[in-house]
Structure 1
Amino acid sequence: MARLTPRPLRVVIAEDAAIMRDGLAQILIRRGLDVVAVVADAAALRCAVDELLPDVAIIDVRMPPTHTDEGLRAAQSIHRDHPQVGVLVFSQYIETRSAAELLSGAPAGVGYLLKDRVADVSDFIDAVISVARGGTVLDPEVVRHLFAASHRANALATLTPREHEVLALIAQGRSNAAIASMLAISAGVVEKHVASVLAKLGLAPSDNDNRRVIAAIKYLES
């Protein structure tokens, strides 16, 4: 009895840069994978996946129309609606919040790799196959960013309600005097709250960094 040959993995590529899109397709085809669709935006990606149900979709983060996180949002919806389809985010950018949301449910069949850190085509193909088969593949830099974001969230959770108010006003660019006036407290009390906020966020005194600006960024990122 003749042995059946396993069918090649079926892949959809979503990438708005034409050269990158065509290059990925050629690499995958040469390695024996079946590229069933190549699209340039998130809407076309969702349509292709709904219709073709590939084994894996390789998705850029920033695509038309806004070039922000359309790819990651599409990856989330695909992972939710078609859990049997692997989603491999392949991008120059780390969108921490959306990545955390993508991985927060069932991380099986999910990957996130950075384009400029993939040095070997074989490693990339292995990652595609792993995600298609239900594995999880994350670039160490992505893991580092997710861990740092989690640490910031935990630090912010330790702030008192008054400290949150003070930090929110710092993020608006308010001076200590302005904060004291708005909250009807003394400037000395504001200084104590600011010092406590900076300490809880792990922002030690530095000659090079504006700690108030960094604290504001952490607040806005949260």
Structure 2
Amino acid sequence: MRVVVADDSVLFREGLVRLLAEKGHEVLDAVGDATALQEAVERNQPDLAVIDVRMPPAMESDGAKSAATLRARHPELGLLLLSQHIELHHVLPLVGTPGFGYLLKDRVLNLADFTAAAERVATGGSALDPAVVQALVLTRSGSALDDLTERELDVLGQVAEGLSNTAIAERLVVSERTVEAHIRSVFTKLGLSDEGTNRRVLAVLRYLEAH
């Protein structure tokens, strides 16, 4: 895949560039501010933009704001946001759209998982840190999510990350049949259709946005 990386930390930015290159991906540009990010995407037309949420010039949510602008201009562009902290205000309109991911830097401990998430987002999938999903849930009270068991919420978090049933089973150390049963129960309780991995992820996330 063809990638543009945007992060104001030189060490972190160069680390991402090296990691992606070692995995066989083409890093077209690596920049340190939101303005340069916009220009790099327009110039290179990448498959994926890896974006730090807080960047110059304002050092607030410039990366998240730029991501929203880029999505409007380039609907097919994959957007993978990285942050030290969870920032939902400017991110919510993007959550649930194809080709969007949001990972916390401190929780990116497995490089293989990170590159898999990047590749998934670049091809229209999703990748959300479980902590981000939890934050979305906690901002909605009195919803049908209250009817879910702790295990069902756990499985829902894995689904929202974009993982397959097989991957969820491996991560939770349960059978794939058990995962399927939990997912059926989740969608029954939420009144959502269980048709296709991407569709069910988007449905869950949009449900979270609306409640």
Tell whether the structures are fold-level matches, with TM greater than 0.5. Answer: yes
Match of 2:35 in 1: 43
User: 1:150 is paired with a residue of what secondary structure?
Assistant: coil
- The 4+ residue runs of structure 1 with deviation greater than 3 A are none
2:135 is equivalent to residue 145 of structure 1: yes
2:38 is equivalent to residue 52 of structure 1: no
Alignment partner for residue 84 of structure 2, among 79, 84, 92?
92
User: 2:37 is paired with a residue of what secondary structure?
Assistant: helix
Q: 1:116-164: CA deviations, max 9, x gaps?
A: 1111101000000000000011001001112222339xxxxxxxxxxxx
Match of 1:122 in 2: 112
> How high is the TM-score relative to the length of structure 1?
0.62
Match of 1:27 in 2: 19
Q: 1:77-129: CA deviations, max 9, x gaps?
A: 111110111000011121111121222xx610000001111111010000000
Structure 1 gap ranges (5+): 1-8, 153-222
8 Å CA contact 1:96, 1:149 repeated in 2: no
2:93 is equivalent to residue 101 of structure 1: yes
d(CA) in 2 for partners of 1:37 and 1:151?
42
d(CA) in 2 for partners of 1:129 and 1:112?
13
User: 1:38 is paired with a residue of what secondary structure?
Assistant: strand
> How high is the TM-score relative to the length of structure 2?
0.65
Alignment of 1:64-103 (within 5 A): 64-103=56-95
Identity %: 43
| Displacement after TM superposition at 1:13 (Å) | 0.2
- Structure number with greater Rg is 1
User: 2:109 is paired with a residue of what secondary structure?
Assistant: coil
User: 1:127 is paired with a residue of what secondary structure?
Assistant: helix
Alignment of 1:148-163 (within 5 A): 148-151=138-141
Q: 1:120 to 1:111 in 2, by over 3 A?
A: same
Structure 2 gap ranges (5+): 143-211
d(CA) in 2 for partners of 1:107 and 1:150?
19
